[in-house]
Amino acid sequence: MLSTMNDGPLSIARIMRQGTGPHGATAEVVTWTGAEPRRSRYAEVGREAARLAHALRGLGVTGDQRVGTFMWNNAEHLTAYLAVPSMGAVLHTLNIRLFPEQLVYVANHAEDHVVLVDHTLLPLFAKLLPEMKTVRHAVVVGGDASALEAPPGVEVHGYADLLAGRPEEFDWPELDERSAAAMCYTSGTTANPKGVVYSHRSIYLHSMQVCMTDGMALEQGDRGLAVVPMFHAMSWGLPYAAFMVGASMIMPDRFLQPEPLVAMMAAERPTMAAAVPTIWQGVLAELEEEPRDISSLREVVIGGSACPPAMMRTFQEDYGITVVHAWGMTETSPLGSLARPPAGVTGEDEWAYRVSQGRLPASVEARLVDDDGRILQWDGQSVGELEVRGPWVAEAYYGDDDPEKFHDGWLRTGDVGYLTPEGFLHLTDRAKDVIKSGGEWISSVELENQVMAHPAVAEAMVIGVPDEKWSERPLVAVVLREGETADAAELREFLSGSVARWQLPEYWTFITEAPKTSVGKFDKKRLRKQHSEGDLEIIHLT
> ω before 123 within 30° of 0 (cis)?
no
| Residue 460 near residue 444 (C-beta atoms within 8 A) | no
Concerning whether 186 is annotated as a catalytic residue, the answer is yes
> Rounded to an integer, what distance in angstroms lies between the CA atom of residue 57 and that of residue 62?
7
Task: Name the active-site residue from 28, 44, 286, 331.
Answer: 331
Q: Could you tell me the smallest distance in angstroms from the CB atom of residue 392 to a copy of itself?
A: 6
- In the three-class reduction of DSSP (H, G, I as helix; E, B as strand; rest coil), residue 237 is classed as helix
Q: Of 210 and 511, which CB lies nearer to a copy of itself in the complex structure?
A: 210
| Residue 474 near residue 508 (C-beta atoms within 8 A) | no
Q: Could you tell me the smallest distance in angstroms from the CB atom of residue 196 to a copy of itself?
A: 6
> Rounded to an integer, what distance in angstroms lies between the CA atom of residue 134 and that of residue 376?
47
**180-193 core/surface letters (b: 16 or more CB in 10 A; e: else):** bbbbbbbbeeeeeb
Q: Could you tell me the smallest distance in angstroms from the CB atom of residue 28 to a copy of itself?
A: 13
Q: Which helix (H) or strand (E) holds 280?
A: helix 277-289
> Rounded to an integer, what distance in angstroms lies between the CA atom of residue 86 and that of residue 232?
20
Q: Could you tell me the smallest distance in angstroms from the CB atom of residue 217 to a copy of itself?
A: 6
10 Å Cβ neighbour count for 308? 14
> Rounded to an integer, what distance in angstroms lies between the CA atom of residue 294 and that of residue 366?
36
Note the residue count of the chain: 542
Q: Could you tell me the smallest distance in angstroms from the CB atom of residue 220 to a copy of itself?
A: 6
Strand partners, 384: 417
Q: Of 373 and 421, which CB lies nearer to a copy of itself in the complex structure?
A: 421
Q: Could you tell me the smallest distance in angstroms from the CB atom of residue 296 to a copy of itself?
A: 13
> Rounded to an integer, what distance in angstroms lies between the CA atom of residue 48 and that of residue 80?
9
Q: Of 319 and 378, which CB lies nearer to a copy of itself in the complex structure?
A: 378
> Can you spell out the DSSP letters for 414-471?
EEEEEE-TT-EEEEEEETTT-EEETTEEE-HHHHHHHHHTSTTEEEEEEEEEEETTTE
Q: Of 362 and 519, which CB lies nearer to a copy of itself in the complex structure?
A: 362
- In the three-class reduction of DSSP (H, G, I as helix; E, B as strand; rest coil), residue 535 is classed as coil
Contacts of 394 (CB under 8 A, 6+ apart): 196, 197, 331, 332, 406, 411
| Residue 159 near residue 49 (C-beta atoms within 8 A) | no
Task: Name the active-site residue from 436, 472, 506, 525.
Answer: 436
Q: Of 24 and 505, which CB lies nearer to a copy of itself in the complex structure?
A: 24
> Rounded to an integer, what distance in angstroms lies between the CA atom of residue 148 and that of residue 501?
63
Strand 507-510 and strand 471-480: pairing?
A: parallel
Identity of the residue numbered 8:
G
Concerning whether 441 is annotated as a catalytic residue, the answer is yes
Q: Could you tell me the smallest distance in angstroms from the CB atom of residue 222 to a copy of itself?
A: 8
Q: Of 31 and 330, which CB lies nearer to a copy of itself in the complex structure?
A: 330
Concerning whether 120 is annotated as a catalytic residue, the answer is no
| Residue 264 near residue 252 (C-beta atoms within 8 A) | yes
Q: Could you tell me the smallest distance in angstroms from the CB atom of residue 112 to a copy of itself?
A: 12
Concerning whether 502 is annotated as a catalytic residue, the answer is no
Q: Of 131 and 214, which CB lies nearer to a copy of itself in the complex structure?
A: 214
Q: Could you tell me the smallest distance in angstroms from the CB atom of residue 248 to a copy of itself?
A: 10
Q: Of 149 and 379, which CB lies nearer to a copy of itself in the complex structure?
A: 379
170 Ramachandran zone, left/alpha/beta (phi>0; psi -120 to 50): beta
Task: Name the active-site residue from 33, 120, 134, 186.
Answer: 186
Q: Of 308 and 391, which CB lies nearer to a copy of itself in the complex structure?
A: 391
Task: Name the active-site residue from 441, 470, 508, 509.
Answer: 441
Give CA torsion, residues 514, 515, 519, 521, to 10 deg: -60
> Rounded to an integer, what distance in angstroms lies between the CA atom of residue 240 and that of residue 199?
13
- Residues annotated as catalytic are 186, 331, 436, 441
